Amino acid sequence: MPPRPPLPPQPADTPWPTRDWPRSEPDADVDREVVARAFERLVEKPDPDVTGETHALLAVHRGRLVAEAYGPERDRDTTLLSWSVAKSFTHALIGILVRDGKLDVHAAAPVPSWQGVDDPRSAITSEDLLRMVDGLDFVEDYVDADVSSVIDMLFGKGKGDVAGYAEQSPRAHPPGRYWNYSSGTANIVAAIAGRCVGGGAEQMRAFMDRELFDRIGMGSATARFDDAGHFIGSSFVFATARDFARFGLLYLRDGLWEGERLLPAGWVDHARTLTPASFDQYGAHWWLARDGSGIFHASGYRGQYIVVVPERDLVVVRLGLTDEAKRVAVVHTLAELVRAFPLS
């Protein structure tokens, strides 16, 4: 793969959007006609049979909010569901623990039920989990409930303790050799974060607010926990579109915010480094573009996206409700929108 493009700094004349994020017009070098066409196609005059429903679409260029639109009965204050975009938040929480010296991702994952001397899962590291190469037998199927582990975990017998359910998965492959996208794995990671923080759901909520949400102005953000007190880090963060964009900007800015380092040096590069065993362009709880452009994105069920574009100093957020068969049209339109902004 070509070298990753550098992560651009916040322009000196652009305030950080910690408290407010006023709209401004796109710069003169932006193709405004293409931007307008993408917003029309997805939000203003959509064809539901082609792209489904778009609930929110916005673009942040050079740190400024330059385009924003909402679907019916939704606005800038509407909180929307992340689905698997939450996995990228889980990556950030682990990074904060790494920053504070509370977790070594290259050591054996601190999962108590795996620590028996004869348990082959004791060799799995937190790094294996973050890259989805843990080798656990978990089926990520959103259609067939008879075979799906994720449906059973989130809505069936595992919903009261999602991490406990996932931790029971047997090893199917040696760690590091086989990539398998798994919401169960993300919930194991979230539970590791919770144990590092300590104090159950109450302290984990406080940690997320203090160390992440409040620091970047995500005042709308809430995370869902299960009955066992685990953050459901695979699927459930709720926030406004602007607050999801703030999170994307944190990663575009290399984990820095208002001059402070929230994520450890190199942690964003960790997210956007290809996992060698991945056959689907996966980094570490973030997805990577297939075209070598250096774009990376958080992605969720039915078309939730935070797209981070370093070469164009751009974040695009799209939230909505789109069936799998229609997502190609959404992705194509988002790609056109991205190309409307110039290379930096």
**What pLDDT digit, counting tens, does each position of 47-74 carry?**
999 999 999 999 999 999 999 999 999 9
Residue 280: pLDDT band with limits 50, 70, 90: confident
Q: Helix, strand or coil for residue 312?
A: helix
Q: What is the mean pLDDT of the chain?
A: 97
Distance CA 286, CA 270 (A): 10
Mean pLDDT over 252-276 rounds to: 97
- Architecture of domain 32-339 in this structure: 3-Layer(aba) Sandwich (3.40)
Domain residue ranges of the chain, discontinuous segments joined by +? 32-339
Mean pLDDT over 96-108 rounds to: 98
**pLDDT for the residue 195:** 98
Confidence (pTM):
0.97
| Nearest residue to 260 via CA among 250, 252, 270, 269 | 250
Distance CA 341, CA 104 (A): 39
Give me Rg for the CA atoms of the chain: 19
Residue 2: pLDDT band with limits 50, 70, 90: low
Identity of the residue numbered 36: A
Q: Roughly how many angstroms between the first and final C-alpha of the chain, as a whole number?
A: 20
Note whether 73 and 89 are within 8 A (CB): no
The tens digit of pLDDT for each residue in 127-185 reads: 999 999 999 999 999 989 899 999 999 999 999 999 999 999 999 999 999 999 999 99
Residue 1: pLDDT band with limits 50, 70, 90: low
